[in-house]
């Protein structure tokens, strides 16, 4: 296949693109990241990349993103949103039309020059502006969109706003990949999916990120449980600020390890470590009893119930148990229960009791080691490949 890879260049792209190439496919990347150009240089011998938003093009994408934030956010008063939208619209009027036309031409040229068989886009609503451009041009090339996370809105208010804007895209694209059965059922309920094909495929990291050797458990040294969090330690975003949960866990004399960040204080049971590149992280994680998936949530949101966040997916690379608060991360809970590789806990007392349960933890640790290679992208790539071929043939 000749594939146009549309999206931002991050760890999932770093996983997928080399595997596409290894399997004999030709990949052209349309990078829509307006901040980090050339990220795919970490992929050996790959340079077939087009950065859509350099120079003046970046201004349109920035405006689109700001407006989108105002539109979807349920944290901003409606009067503020109206004023912000008006000012952004005035700012955009002078150059949006010209820049969007240039971007459309760049996309059309990339598809034509590279004889593209399929457009493969990634991650939530992030590439929707570019997908909409392709749909408007009526280019006879199928689009497969891998949702990974949806909805991105954190609450019902933002969700209601998002659905009408996304209706055309969901109902016209040729292939939709859902990260979980929950996500598929959610989208099927919200949109008319009569056109196109659907698949539920769990996102996976490449085996290059998986641990190659294991370290001694810290708990074997001091007989106390040690857990690690690999989520962001930039707590400026409300849903990432998990400091109160860290303190609650530390009070139970459970060692909590996380990357250094602003507002994180070292203590007897709180251990910040130097941030490291992803290629080293899985092996580092093997010294801990479990990896904890945390967000600052106290009620259920569709985003977290439907999705498999990267901090969960990457935890699978280490072959250690995965733990999380119960009833918030339904899709994640389903996986750890299915393969018996972790647990959900009710409160910190329950968390402590389970971490000290030698029979439970022994079984989970053994299963996590035994099962973790099952989750490599290489072992699951044939499902993605087959679905894309099915979509092309169905077009």
pLDDT tens digits, 280-318: 999 999 999 999 999 888 777 888 889 899 999 999 999
The 8-class DSSP code of residue 373 comes to G
What is the structure's pLDDT at 337? 97
What is the structure's pLDDT at 80? 56
Pairing of strands 290-292, 118-122: unpaired
What is the structure's pLDDT at 85? 55
What is the structure's pLDDT at 71? 46
What is the structure's pLDDT at 302? 83
What is the structure's pLDDT at 70? 47
pLDDT at 90 over 80: no
Mean pLDDT of all residues in 213-221: 96
Instruction: Return d(Cα 361, Cα 165) in angstroms, integer.
Output: 46
Tokens of 100: 């969007």
What is the structure's pLDDT at 59? 47
DSSP lists the bridge partners of residue 291 as 228, 322
* Positions of E strands within the chain: 2-7, 26-31, 49-51, 118-122, 143-146, 175-178, 197-200, 226-228, 255-259, 270-273, 290-292, 322-325, 342-345
What is the structure's pLDDT at 279? 92
* b/e map 309-329, b = 16+ CB within 10 Å: bbbbbbbbbbbbbbbbbeebb
What is the structure's pLDDT at 121? 96
Q: Kindly tell me the sign of the dihedral angle through the C-alpha atoms of 128, 131, 137, 138.
A: negative
Residue (of 170, 183, 185, 179) closest to 128 by Cα position:
170
Of the chain, the percentage scoring pLDDT greater than 90 comes to 59
Whether 147 and 305 have beta carbons less than 8 Å apart is answered as: no
Instruction: Return d(Cα 2, Cα 114) in angstroms, integer.
Output: 7
Contacts of 225 (CB under 8 A, 6+ apart): 219, 254, 255, 289, 290, 352, 355, 356
Contacts of 24 (CB under 8 A, 6+ apart): none
Model pLDDT for residues 8-66, shown as the tens digit of each residue: 888 888 899 999 999 999 999 998 875 544 444 455 556 688 888 754 444 445 555 54
In CATH, what number does 2-206+377-394 get? 3.40.50.2000
What is the structure's pLDDT at 43? 56
Model pLDDT for residues 337-387, shown as the tens digit of each residue: 999 999 999 999 999 999 999 999 999 999 999 999 999 999 999 999 999
Instruction: Return d(Cα 227, Cα 323) in angstroms, integer.
Output: 9
Model pLDDT for residues 139-182, shown as the tens digit of each residue: 889 999 999 988 875 554 445 555 667 888 899 999 999 999 99
Q: Where are the domains of the chain?
A: 2-206+377-394, 208-375
* Tally of CB atoms within 10 A around 119: 27
Task: Report the side by side order of strands in the sheet with 270-273.
Answer: 270-273, 255-259, 226-228, 290-292, 322-325, 342-345
Pairing of strands 197-200, 226-228: unpaired
Host H or E run for residue 358: helix 358-371
Whether 266 and 246 have beta carbons less than 8 Å apart is answered as: no
C-alpha distances in angstroms, 272 versus 246, 263, 264, 265? Answer: 11, 11, 7, 8
C-alpha distances in angstroms, 114 versus 28, 133, 288, 298? Answer: 7, 18, 47, 48
pLDDT at 233 over 70: yes
Residue (of 250, 233, 251) closest to 242 by Cα position:
233
Q: Which CATH superfamily is domain 208-375 in?
A: Glycogen Phosphorylase B; (3.40.50.2000)
Tokens of 130: 């570019």
Give the distance from CA 68 to its chain's centroid: 19
Contacts of 370 (CB under 8 A, 6+ apart): none
Q: Which residue has the tokens 């909590």?
A: 256
Confidence category of residue 390, pLDDT binned at 50, 70, 90: very high
pLDDT at 122 over 50: yes
What is the structure's pLDDT at 228? 98
Instruction: Return d(Cα 159, Cα 149) in angstroms, integer.
Output: 13
């Amino acid at each position: 296949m000749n594939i146009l890879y549309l999206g931002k260049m991050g760890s999932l792209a770093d996983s997928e693109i080399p595997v596409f190439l290894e399997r004999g496919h030709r990949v052209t990347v349309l990078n829509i990241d307006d901040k980090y150009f050339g990220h795919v240089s970490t992929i050996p011998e790959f340079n077939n990349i087009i950065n859509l938003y350099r120079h003046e093009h970046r201004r349109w994408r920035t405006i689109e993103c700001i407006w989108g934030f105002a539109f979807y956010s349920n944290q901003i008063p409606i009067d503020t949103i109206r004023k912000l939208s008006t000012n952004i619209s005035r700012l955009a009027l002078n150059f949006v039309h010209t820049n969007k036309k240039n971007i459309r031409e760049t996309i059309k040229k990339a598809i034509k020059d590279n004889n593209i068989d399929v457009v493969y886009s990634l991650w939530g609503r992030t590439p929707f502006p570019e997908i909409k451009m392709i749909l408007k041009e009526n280019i006879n090339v199928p689009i497969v969109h891998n949702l990974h996370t949806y909805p991105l809105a954190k609450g019902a208010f933002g969700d209601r706003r998002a659905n009408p804007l996304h209706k055309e895209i969901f109902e016209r694209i040729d292939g939709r990949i859902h990260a979980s059965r929950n996500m598929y059922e959610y989208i099927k309920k919200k949109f008319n999916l009569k056109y196109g094909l659907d698949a539920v495929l769990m996102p996976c990291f490449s085996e290059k990120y998986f641990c190659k050797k294991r370290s001694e458990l810290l708990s074997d040294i001091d007989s106390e449980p040690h857990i690690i969090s690999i989520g962001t330690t930039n707590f400026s975003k409300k849903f990432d600020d998990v400091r109160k949960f860290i303190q609650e866990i530390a009070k139970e004399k459970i060692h909590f390890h996380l990357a250094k960040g602003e507002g994180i204080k070292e203590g007897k049971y709180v251990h910040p470590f130097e941030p490291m590149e992803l290629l080293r992280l899985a092996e580092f994680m093997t010294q801990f009893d479990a990896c904890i998936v945390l967000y600052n949530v106290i009620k259920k949101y569709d985003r977290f119930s439907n999705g498999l966040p990267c901090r969960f997916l990457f935890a699978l690379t280490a072959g250690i148990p995965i733990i999380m608060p119960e009833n918030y991360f339904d899709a994640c809970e389903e996986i750890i229960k299915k393969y018996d590789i972790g647990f959900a806990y009710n409160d910190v007392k329950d968390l402590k009791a389970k971490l000290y349960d030698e029979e439970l933890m022994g079984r989970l640790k053994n299963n996590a080691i035994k099962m973790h290679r099952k989750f490599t992208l290489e072992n699951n790539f044939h499902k993605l490949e087959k679905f894309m071929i099915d979509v092309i043939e169905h077009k």
